[in-house]
Amino acid sequence: MQDDTEVSKEMSFLEHLEELRKHLVRSAIVVFIFSIVTFIYAPWIFDHIVFAPLRSDFLSYKALCSLSKIVDTPQLCFHVETKPLQALSASEQFFNHIWISIVIGIILSSPFVLFELWKFIRPALNDNEANPVKSFISISTFLFLLGVCFGYFVLFPMSYNFLITYQISEQGLVETHNTLEDYISLISTMVLVSGLIFELPVVVFLLAKLGLLSAEWMRKYRRHAVVIILIVAAVITPSPDVMSQLIVALPLYVLFEVSIFIAKAVYK
């Protein structure tokens, strides 16, 4: 009797596509189910999760205020004024309701989606290769969810409160109106992008496995990477306060150093 590896090797290209389609359909169904559940419980989710950074009692604001006292940086203690978000069109609330349901559905179903990816590539691997890849899938899930949390609890509150209070006129001639569309766009983008950024070690692992990246090359351009990380931190957190930028830059630098270690391990 042939094992799964031999069967996988005998499959034609179209059969591989059909197998991939099955995994994608199952993943899409799970994303759809989580999105529907999110849609149903949207009032609670919006009030307690999506709109939580609009309130002064948000966990991140309390933590940053405590940190500001320790490092003597008052700028980290935000003064948050709760103001209603404005919907400028009749359909804005409905379509943002759908969009946030899909985003949360993707986040919640990410472990299952990566598991389906694992099931698709498993027949092509022998036992010695399967165990490391299985760990790789688990680590990918963990890093993505960690990045999502970082974007939600750190990146978004700091960036949003700086942007919403930013003034180009000393006489207060410009008033910023807090719209639902802008808020939802900013929080969903920052959370998802942060999740993807935290996949850097995974990307490095794949590139190192393909022989396209080495630990020596990354060490050689470490200084350049630090400059890029600081620039990214300055863009993500437009606040001029250095401590805010360091809070963002430090995790990114740690990810870079971990990636160097991974590239070295793959080479060995």
In 3D space, the residue among 110, 93, 48, 80 whose CA is nearest the CA of residue 184 turns out to be 93
**How much of the chain is in helix, strand and coil states, percent to nearest 5?**
80, 0, 20
What does the domain layout of the chain look like in residue ranges? 4-78+88-198, 200-268
- In this predicted structure, the answer to whether residue 58 has a pLDDT above a threshold of 80 is yes
Q: For position 124, what pLDDT does the model report?
A: 66
pTM exceeds 0.85 for this model = no
- In this predicted structure, the answer to whether residue 9 has a pLDDT above a threshold of 60 is no
Per-residue pLDDT reduced to its tens digit, 130-178? 666 667 778 888 999 999 999 999 889 888 888 887 788 878 788 888 8
Percent of the chain with pLDDT over 70: 89
Q: For position 82, what pLDDT does the model report?
A: 72
Per-residue pLDDT reduced to its tens digit, 218-257? 999 999 999 998 888 887 775 666 777 788 888 889 999 9
